[in-house]
Chains A and B, each alone.
Chain A
Amino acid sequence: MSFLRINNIGKTFLGERKEKVIALSDLSFDCQDGEFLCIVGPTGCGKTTLLRLIAGLEQPSEGDIILADTVIQDLNREATLVFQQYSLFPWRNVIDNVCFSLEIKKIPKKTRYLKARKFIDLVGLTGFEKALPYELSGGMQQRVAIARALAHNPKLLLLDEPFGALDERTRHRLQEKLLAVWQKEQKTVVFVTHNIDEAIFLASRILIMRDRPGRIDNEIKVDLPRPRDRRSQGFLKLHIKIREILEQILITNTNNQRGVL
């Protein structure tokens, strides 16, 4: 039995004008305990919706999501989601943001600050402990949000394009840090990204989604040895393969649209 099972789920939203928007349809996949799953796909294909469903923030219109043998019907307490938008509490400084879940668990101040500093250091923001979110750049805020999620230490970590706002070097550094945490803490990670290179570097498996309606188009197991070399033959071959799949999705889309018009 797999750790996380997505079972033929569909999600339909009611739009502004009461029209139906089918965000996801007949989507299934399994995820093993300790897997690092990356999800790529064209914009608007329902990646965020999928993560929100797994987190239990919304319920699927059809099908069900099973986590460790229980169907998720309410908030998923095993999971934490790092949102695509900036979600830091603006009235709390960096360290108190990172401490949020530790505070809720009633961990004494000294211990939780010690722990929080470790994660702040991990995302490379030592020295900014007392800064308020508005004093940070978008990329820095996103790194604090990751530290905050890691401090909570969930079994299942959901990340929605967390490194989108970072420059390449910082992005690479954080990818390595995230992998280190994943390996050390035996977490299961579902990571959404637009960046093919990032997906290959991180994932044990990559799911490629297509849109209208959102569903799994393709699945690629990444067997390259870690740490992965971005210039290796295997890496580059995979890169080309995924790029071709994504281009194919876009082409069929435009064709479909032409057919409609």
Chain B
Amino acid sequence: MIPIIIIAVWEFFAIQANNPALLPRVGDVVNRLIHPFTDLLNTGSFVRHICVSASRVVLGFILAAVIGIPLGLLVGRYLLFHRLFSPVIELLRPLCPIAWIPFAMAIFKTYTIADMFGAHYTTSIFGHIQLGMLYVIFYGGFFPIFLNTVHGVKSVKHLYIESALLLGADQKKLFKKVIFPSSLPSILTGLRVGLGISWMVIIAAEMLPGSDAGIGYLIIFSYELAEMDILIASMILIGAVGALLSYGVKVIADRTSVWQAKER
């Protein structure tokens, strides 16, 4: 019901304004969306831009998970690691990932993964994965993943740990068979939130000067050329992809965490 109202209001104002550079008609935007493979403004199609953005996010996010989960497990379980990392983390946490973007761009310039491997990868997708962007995505994804993992480990019931020890588990098995599965629902929540933040951060990063592809870049470029239909279509796509990512993690999470939802 509400979407219909929004679309109706939009269409009403679009007709009133009668200026596609200000507010395009609903039909124009839809027309853009149903041709996702068509080249736009000589920069490539929607699909290409989405793929570039998504590959940046996936890589940075995997990095965040690969570092955030093990670190969270250790910090949550061992006081030594807690003492070592907590002060730094508490200090960095309130610092919004977007605030890092200019700094990361300055440090990493436009270095891409391809530059690390050699020039002949430049034309591949790696040529579009800038280290600076990777860094801010990592940063954005890391905190929710890390903090939720720590929380998960800290809320493992002592009773389960004692039971496992009395059934012959050593420290390694305890991690694998009790602490990890018990904190899994919390870890998955962290992954879901982290992925959402990564997706927001990448759009912001791509809007900055120096970027040459990605859905955020397309937004800023179509803004400069006053191509409002492309701009709005891009926004809709960002929302849709973000929702899809979140839904994907949620499906996995729900399947592995039935026990937690039902625990009395």
Interface residues of A (CB under 8 A from B): 55, 57, 75-77, 79-81, 83, 85, 87, 89-92, 100-101, 103-105, 132-135, 148-149, 152
Kindly list the 3 A-B residue pairs having the minimum CB-CB distance in the complex, ordered from nearest.
Answer: A101-B167, A134-B262, A90-B259
- How many angstroms from the CA of A87 to the CA of B168 in the assembled complex? 15
B186 nearest CB across to chain A (Å): 12
Given contact pairs A89-B163, A91-B182, A134 touches B263 in the complex (Cβ within 8 A): yes
Q: Does B86 make an interface contact (CB < 8 A)?
A: no
> Which among B43-51, B124-132, B173-181 touches the partner chain?
B173-181
The A-contacting residues of B in range 214-264, CB under 8 angstroms, are 258-260, 262-264
Q: Does B159 make an interface contact (CB < 8 A)?
A: yes
Q: Is the CB of A89 within 8 A of B260?
A: no
Q: Which residues in A have their C-beta under 8 angstroms from that of B181?
A: 89, 91-92
B252 nearest CB across to chain A (Å): 15
Known: A101-B168, A133-B259. 6 other contacts (CB 8 A): A79-B166, A81-B162, A85-B159, A87-B159, A100-B177, A134-B262
Q: Is the CB of A57 within 8 A of B162?
A: yes
Q: Is the CB of B168 within 8 A of A104?
A: yes
Q: Does B184 make an interface contact (CB < 8 A)?
A: yes
Q: Which residues in A have their C-beta under 8 angstroms from that of B184?
A: 91
Question: Which one of B159, B165, B167, B168 has the highest number of Cβ atoms from chain A below 10 Å of its Cβ?
Answer: B167
Q: Is the CB of A134 within 8 A of B163?
A: no
Q: Which residues in B have their C-beta under 8 angstroms from that of A149?
A: 167
- How many angstroms from the CA of A2 to the CA of B143 in the assembled complex? 56
Q: Is the CB of B163 within 8 A of A83?
A: yes
The A-contacting residues of B in range 145-202, CB under 8 angstroms, are 159-160, 162-169, 173, 177-178, 181-182, 184
Interface residues on B, range: 20 to 34
A52 nearest CB across to chain B (Å): 9
Q: Is the CB of B260 within 8 A of A90?
A: yes
- How many angstroms from the CA of A91 to the CA of B178 in the assembled complex? 9
Given contact pairs A79-B166, A100-B167, A152-B167, A87 touches B177 in the complex (Cβ within 8 A): no
Given contact pairs A87-B163, A133-B259, A105 touches B168 in the complex (Cβ within 8 A): yes
B17 nearest CB across to chain A (Å): 56
Q: Is the CB of A134 within 8 A of B177?
A: no
Q: Is the CB of B169 within 8 A of A91?
A: no
Question: Which one of B173, B177, B258 has the highest number of Cβ atoms from chain A below 10 Å of its Cβ?
Answer: B177
Q: Is the CB of A100 within 8 A of B164?
A: yes
Question: Which one of B163, B166, B184, B262 has the highest number of Cβ atoms from chain A below 10 Å of its Cβ?
Answer: B166
Q: Which residues in B have their C-beta under 8 angstroms from that of A148?
A: 167
- How many angstroms from the CA of A152 to the CA of B167 in the assembled complex? 6
Q: Which residues in B have their C-beta under 8 angstroms from that of A55?
A: 166
Q: Which residues in B have their C-beta under 8 angstroms from that of A91?
A: 181-182, 184, 259-260
Q: Is the CB of B160 within 8 A of A132?
A: no
